[in-house]
Structure 1
Amino acid sequence: MSSATDAFTALNLPQAVQAQVLKLLAQIGRAQTADDLFRASDRAEGFVLGLETAKALNAGSIEVLYKAFDDAATARRLEHAQ
């Protein structure tokens, strides 16, 4: 999950956004079941969609956040598969 964290750290996000991103990444990382992971991933995607809809960040930053959450969820899924 640190690669996901590294990906958005360079974005210099507003403090409130960064705090929420960290919480969402932590929820993905703590997911114990496939359902937990789905809910955490869905929540993270919804958060980014909200930022995108509100035009709170530029398109490049939005794309990095989508990718960071997707990468974190993929990594967690692979951990569960082992």
Structure 2
Amino acid sequence: MAGLGATATSRSTGIRIECAVTLGRWKRPPTAGGSSDQAMLIDKFEQGLEQGPGIDALDNGRQSSLTTPGITSMG
């Protein structure tokens, strides 16, 4: 799902899009999937901090986004 969304959005906008999706389940740890290692790294970082736009989305049930202009690599 994350890969398909990132690919479709990237093609339609002409901008590279990364996507991570986290599934929150009652009394279980969240499960995450992503379109790239970079997207998964950001998601894992947020989960470790227990804060950020992804955590906010799990808490309030609404999608969120993170824009990182100018960042092309995290390694």
TM-score by length of 2: 0.32
TM-score by length of 1: 0.30
Q: Comparing both structures, which one devotes a greater share of its residues to strand?
A: 2
Q: Comparing both structures, which one devotes a greater share of its residues to helix?
A: 1
- Higher relative contact order, chain-length normalized (CA < 8 Å, sep 6+): 1
